[in-house]
Amino acid sequence: MSPTLTRPEAAGPARLRRPSLFSLVIVLVAGCLLIHGWTQGAKVDPGSLAIGTLRLGEFFSDAIPPDASRLGPILKALLVTIEMALLGTILGVLLSLPLAALAARNISPHWTLYGAARGVITVCRSIPDLVWGLIFVVAVGLGPEAGVLAITVDVMGFCGRFFAESIEDLEPGRLEGLRALGASRVGVLAGGVLPACLPPFVTTSMFALESSVRSSVVLGLVGAGGIGIELATSMTLLRYDEAFTIILSILLVVVAFERLSAAIRRRVLGQEDYP
């Protein structure tokens, strides 16, 4: 007697899991904040948006064609902005390396140093760079120095976190093998951590540089030097054609840095270049 062939039952469609109470509370709170922000907090009014669109058209009608009569001072201030971004990023990356080594659980010498380093990174990341700019303007006065310090602290928070996570993602056997051979902590860092983490370190630093270029523009608005002061002055004096020239120059610099950063990341990661 031949065995009876049975047809497998068709699998039913995947069903959504019932959301947990925590998820429902999060959705409810987010919905309440959205409704309150639309009606009471931000008070988004469609009529005001329509009027704002018309005023935006007036701005562009006054801004075009751009005024290049002060192109020399604008380029000089733009150079200061670029230097602020470069100096702040380089200092921030250099300070992030030892900070990340202390904040990585797998190589930190002691749990107290680990907690302290993580706390420093959290503080640097939690406070916006604009607030850091205001703090350093009070500390060292108006000028690019305050901007460089603000960018440095902001980069420390950004790079410190991702550097530490890259170190913690290393295979345990790589570090244990060096320790078994009698390597010191410095030897483990130099022979095991840096060679393996160099590509993510470089890519993270490039992202930090892109962000620093944009941040240096905003920091100028609070007196930290650079092109932001020129932009604020032009907007205050209603010189929209001059302000548009500044905006275009900022756009060109930001795009140039993004292209350069992308090219460096592709080279480090061994990816093919694109036109």
What is the per-residue pLDDT for 140? 85
Tell me how far the alpha carbon of residue 206 is from its chain's centroid: 10
In this prediction the pTM is 0.79
What is the per-residue pLDDT for 275? 45
Tens-level pLDDT at each residue, the chain (275 residues): 445 555 555 554 556 677 788 888 898 999 888 888 777 777 777 777 777 777 777 778 877 888 888 888 888 888 988 999 999 999 999 999 999 888 888 878 888 988 999 999 999 988 888 899 889 988 888 888 888 999 999 999 999 999 988 888 877 666 666 666 666 666 667 667 777 788 888 888 988 998 898 888 888 877 777 788 888 888 888 888 888 898 898 899 888 888 888 888 888 776 555 44
Got the DSSP string for 126-144? HS-HHHHHHHHHHHH-SSH
3-state helix, strand, coil in the chain (%, to 5): 75, 0, 25
- Give all domains of the chain, ordered by start, each with its CATH number: 71-269 (1.10.3720.10)
Instruction: Give the up-direction half-sphere exposure of residue 85: CA atoms within 13 A in the CB hemisphere.
Output: 28
What is each CA distance from 56 to 53, 130, 231, 250, in whole angstroms? 5, 26, 17, 20
3-state DSSP assignment of residue 262: helix
Rounded distance between C-alpha atoms, residue 229 and residue 110, angstroms: 45
